[in-house]
Amino acid sequence: MSLTAVREAPTQAKGKAYAALVKALGRGWLRDRSQVFFTLLLPLMFMVLLASVFGSSADSVSRVLTVGEVPVLDAADAGDFDVTAVGDLDEALALLREGEADAAVVQDGDAVTIYPSPTSSTSGSIATGKLSALVDQVNVEVLSAAAPGSPVLDAEVEEADGGALRPIQYLAPGILAWGIAIAGVFGAAGTIVDWKRDKLLRRLRLTPASVKTFLGAKVSVNLLVAIGQTAVFLAVAALVFGLELSPWTWFAVPLVMLGTLAFLAIGVVIGGIAQTSPGAAGLSNLVTMPMAFVSGAFWPLALSPTWVQWLSYLSPMRYLNEALQSVVVYGAPPTAVLPQLGFLAAFAAIVALISWRTFKFDEL
């Protein structure tokens, strides 16, 4: 046997061991009904339920953006609108997409153009109704004054970005991000606790498969699950609820893979702390559920209190949610989500380093 063949033999053996482990761990995941339920079915049920009954509650004061001078608002009551002036229409539409306002208004002479929120159809419709009623009120006052030659305002409603977004168009990315978090955190934490209890990694040292090979196979299975999860979510959202997928939807795959690595790192930390499976499940739930509410998974983040919005900057789920929404719904190219990618990569690296330095595989 040549020297090259001798060197390639261990590599081939490791490759076969890795493939066998991926296959075995994948089958084990499919046979574990609890993992299938919490990873796939539970988030999918949330998406279907919320997309069917979701509705935004509107405040008594509608948040309105004005572009230039809008004299018609001078006739509004003080408590009807919270008015903010912006520089141009593009800025106003961008703020509407982010959920920062309920409507935008532009007035050019007698023409009043109203742009309702594309993020919340309920609050946008309420604000549009108030503004249209205000225009009608001003017209009635002008006519009743019987002033010759007085102009009559004409209100027109323009849908921002070609149409108001339906709930599914911001629920699907958010709940998908939550599902990725559940799969990563719960899967890693519970598995690590079981490994410590059974002293599995210690026993692996006596087999041809190294600990690194085993861990690599486990991470690979989680990444494959995340890709399948993404495909199922987007298929249901598109086929059942009519979600229009952008041409950049394929970039959701690398996004969820990077997000999975970040949440796996959190799960490893929890697995190192917890000593029992119920303890791991409780800590995982304590992390993922508040993170979902803080990160805008169930409603636009801009509708949350200011302190929640500030807290969300620490959550990796916020950045995964924003990136998915940008490429899947808005059709933004990958270059537009580089900040989110950078945060997810840095978060995954830092938390993984912490867990690697502090983790003990054996039972405590």
Residues 68 and 187 occupy one common structural domain: no
Residue 328 counted as domain residue: yes
Residues 137 and 216 occupy one common structural domain: no
Environment class of 146 (CB within 10 Å of its CB; exposed 0-12, middle 13-18, buried 19+): exposed
What domain range is 348 assigned to? 3-53+167-358
Residue 193 counted as domain residue: yes
Residues 184 and 248 occupy one common structural domain: yes
| Position 27 confidence tier, pLDDT thresholds 50, 70, 90 | confident
Residue-level pLDDT at 250 = 93
Question: Pick from 138, 162, 186: which residue ends a domain?
Answer: 162
**What's the N-to-C CA distance of the chain in angstroms?**
47
Strands 111-116 and 103-108: antiparallel
Residues 121 and 101 occupy one common structural domain: yes
Longest dimension (CA), the chain: 106
In angstroms, the CA 228 to CA 221 distance is 11
Residue 116 counted as domain residue: yes
Question: Pick from 147, 162, 177: which residue ends a domain?
Answer: 162
Residues 269 and 329 occupy one common structural domain: yes
Q: What are phi and psi of 100, to 5 degrees?
A: -80, -10
Tens of pLDDT, residue by residue over 57-85, are 444 578 889 888 888 888 877 667 888 88
Residues 154 and 172 occupy one common structural domain: no
| CATH code for position 141 | 3.40.1710.10
| Position 316 confidence tier, pLDDT thresholds 50, 70, 90 | very high
pTM greater than the 0.85 cutoff: no
Question: Pick from 130, 162, 194: which residue ends a domain?
Answer: 162
Q: Where are the beta strands (DSSP E) in the chain?
A: 62-67, 81-86, 103-108, 111-116, 154-157
Tens of pLDDT, residue by residue over 172-218, are 888 899 889 988 888 888 888 877 777 766 666 666 556 667 677 77
Q: In 3D, which of 29, 31, 160, 140 has the Cα closest to residue 92?
A: 160
Q: How far is CA 347 from the centre of its chain?
A: 16
- Number of other CB atoms surrounding residue 34 within 10 Å: 10
Rg of the chain over all Cα atoms, to the nearest angstrom: 26
In angstroms, the CA 317 to CA 305 distance is 18
Residues 214 and 111 occupy one common structural domain: no
Residue-level pLDDT at 252 = 93
